[in-house]
Amino acid sequence: MSDMKIGIYGGTFDPVHLGHIRSAFAFLTACDLDRLFVIPNYLPPHKTICAGDDPHMRLQMLKIAFSPLPFYNDKIIVSDFEVRNQEVSYTYKTLEHFSFISKDLTLLCGTDNFLNLEYWKNSERIFELSKIAHIVRPGTYDESEEILATKERLKKRYGARIVDVPMAPIELSSTEIREKIKRGENTLYLLPPDVRAFIDKYDLYGEHNV
């Protein structure tokens, strides 16, 4: 086992958009990571996936999104671990897997996930295995009293190790992006062009797949 600093960034990425990419860069920089594993869920336990979902297509879109970034190619790795397992994607299991690679793991959480993290399956194991990196958008709800109270509770109850990842506010929603694609609207400032081309090629978010 090494002391390599490894970041874990999981989600459905349905589809991966520019907000996800910015979050990955902010995480990589703020936590000075040696490696960042971006991991699409096979079957997320906390949200409903859209009809016609194909985890392998979501995995391929992530590879397309991060492949044209040669400076980061040795640091950002799109992992098929959860897709390959073909089961409900519980975070504690993913962390257990990567804990065999390094004992220095950090899990990235947006605000919604951060507020609910203690209710996830085997959450005690999550706090034991990893630090928690919370994306903070200055001047927004991410700095609210609820967030501060949650941080203190997690530290006292679970011994949580929490770090903040500052990132300028960006309002992007995969749900809204899917609707825009369904309507044939421009997504130039929402998605990497190659990801949009892949979506159009396979009609991933057509009328029967949203």
At 70 the pLDDT is 61
At 71 the pLDDT is 58
**Which structural domain, as residue segments, surrounds residue 6?**
2-202
Does residue 135 lie in a domain region?
yes
Report which of 57, 65, 131, 120 is spatially closest to residue 88, judged by C-alpha positions. Answer: 120
What percentage of the chain reaches a pLDDT higher than 90? 78
At 157 the pLDDT is 97
Q: Write the CATH number for 28.
A: 3.40.50.620
Which residues, at least 6 apart from 203, have a Cβ–Cβ distance to it below 8 Å? Answer: 209
Report which of 173, 172, 198 is spatially closest to residue 68, judged by C-alpha positions. Answer: 198
**Quick one: average pLDDT of 139-166?**
89
Lateral strand order in the sheet of 35-40: 76-78, 35-40, 2-11, 102-109, 130-136, 162-166
Question: Does 15 or 145 have the greater pLDDT score?
Answer: 15
Burial 39-57 (b: 16+ CB within 10 A, else e): bbbbbbeeeeeeeebebeb
> Which pLDDT tens digit goes with each residue over 177-190?
999 999 999 998 99
Does residue 209 lie in a domain region?
no
Does residue 114 lie in a domain region?
yes
> Which pLDDT tens digit goes with each residue over 90-104?
999 999 999 999 999
Minimum mean pLDDT range among 2-11, 114-123, 162-171, 184-193: 162-171
At 53 the pLDDT is 87
The count of structural domains within the chain is 1
Does residue 207 lie in a domain region?
no
Which residues, at least 6 apart from 65, have a Cβ–Cβ distance to it below 8 Å? Answer: 16, 20, 21, 192, 194, 195
Q: In this model, does residue 208 exceed pLDDT 70?
A: no
**Quick one: average pLDDT of 36-64?**
91
Does residue 155 lie in a domain region?
yes
At 50 the pLDDT is 74
At 68 the pLDDT is 74
For residue 47, what pLDDT band results from cuts at 50, 70 and 90?
confident
pTM attached to this predicted model: 0.93
Does residue 190 lie in a domain region?
yes
